[in-house]
Amino acid sequence: MFILFVIVFINLVGFGVIIPLLPFYAEHYGASPDQVTLLMAAYSFAQFVTAPIWGRLSDKHGRRPILLISLAGTAVAYVWLALAPNLTSLYLARALAGLMAGSISSAFAYMADITTEKERAKGMGLIGAAFGLGFIAGPAIGGILAGGDLANTNFTLPPYAAAGFSMAAFLLAIFSLKESLPAELRTIVSRRTSPERWAQLIETMFRPNVLITLILTFMAIFVFASLEATFAMWTERTFGWGVAQNGYVFACTGILSAIVQGILVGPMSQKWGEPLLIRQGFIALCLGLLIIPLANSVELLLIAMAIVTYGFSLASPALSSHLSLQVAAEEQGIIFGIGRSASTLARALGPAGSGYVFAFLGKDWPFFIGAILMLLVLILSFIVNKFGDKFE
């Protein structure tokens, strides 16, 4: 479990390194706000296409080979990003990174393989903590490498550093990570014909509790991804911030996320259960998003970001755990592939939509609309319980 945690952490450091850079990199090549957020969405659109495929392949061939292929491909995509001569190349490099992003669903499936049902939320929280810690170091490193001066931003060092982190995770996985999926379970999946596998995919996706969980996952990530895509542009216009300042804020939110997911989620889940944690997370997301556009000081902005981060850090691992518990052991790869598809579609559509809202309605409206959406999703979760398909 520890080795998996370290591998995910190192890989996410690389991912986090370029997050605060991308909006400014796109603007460097003349991108408008909606084009900036489409760059953020390109990664997720590509990941949406391949996530179920990676998940199904990990059920058939094991988690380890998919992790290795994905990490190597991600490193190549980061090098391409560093060498990109224009906006089109930026889009293509991010799309390649999305196509090769099978490591995330494989890591979640790996954790499901090695944990019991009682430990599942804690295990998913540990993976979430690796994400959070990656976002502590990654954006801070990216900010330092890129610099805080908008006129002299270094756009090549952060992607090269990200490639180095992915290769470090690749090497660690080669020498330290054992396969988690037993051979007999891989054999069960291998014996299924292609039509059988697709039928299983569709049947699994439309189980009532699975579908409900996927919808809630989609909405939570849709809103959070919208924030990630527009936050740097909002702070640039509101406070005059550059890459470094935004990187430090994301690093601070990463600290909080790591604490919540690594320490609090496990005990809270055992005491109250995943559905209550999910609803509490939705409430915090709604409140924090509402405060952000009203923040007229850095202090209030940091409070709002802390509330948003707390909410998402509760809801995300709880949703992953709840999704995992709906299927059998040999279906963990496919269910996390489906889950990643829902997540990545949200990460594609959220930034794309928020970019147009930012450009045509104003810089505050992506956050107001996000708060309204989270309120509606919270209401939906109670309506579902009342009228049939229990979300429990």
Q: Which of 93, 111, 123 is nearest to 18 (CA)?
A: 93
For residue 391, tell me if it sits in a domain: no
Q: Could you tell me if residue 335 is inside a domain? A: yes
* Mean pLDDT across 61-81: 91
Q: What string of DSSP letters covers 250-296? A: HHHHHHHHHHIIIIIHHHHHHHH-HHHHHHHHHHHHHHHHHHGGG--
Distance CA 152, CA 160 (A): 18
Give me the CATH number covering residue 367.
1.20.1250.20
Check pLDDT > 90 for residue 292: yes
- If one counts the domains in the chain, the total is 1
Q: How confident is the model at residue 163 (pLDDT cuts 50, 70, 90)?
A: very high
281: confidence class by pLDDT, cuts 50, 70, 90 = very high
Q: Which residue has the tokens 């009228």?
A: 387
CB 185, CB 340: distance < 8 Å: no
- pLDDT tens-digit readout, 172-215: 989 988 887 777 665 655 555 556 556 656 666 667 677 888 88
What is the extent of the structural domain holding 11?
2-386
What does the mean pLDDT of the chain come to? 82
Residue 182, domain member (yes or no):
yes
Tell me, what amino acid is at 110? Y
Q: Which pLDDT band holds residue 324 (cuts at 50, 70, 90)?
A: confident
Q: With respect to residue 392, please indicate whether it lies within any of the assigned structural domains.
A: no
Residue 166 lies in a domain: yes
Q: Is residue 272 part of a domain?
A: yes
235 domain residue, yes or no = yes
Residue 62: both structure tokens together: 């094991």
Given a cut of 80, is residue 330 above it in pLDDT? no
- Evaluate whether residue 176 is within a structural domain: yes
| Average pLDDT value for residue range 231-241 | 89
pTM above 0.75, yes or no: no
Q: Is the pLDDT of residue 388 over 50?
A: no
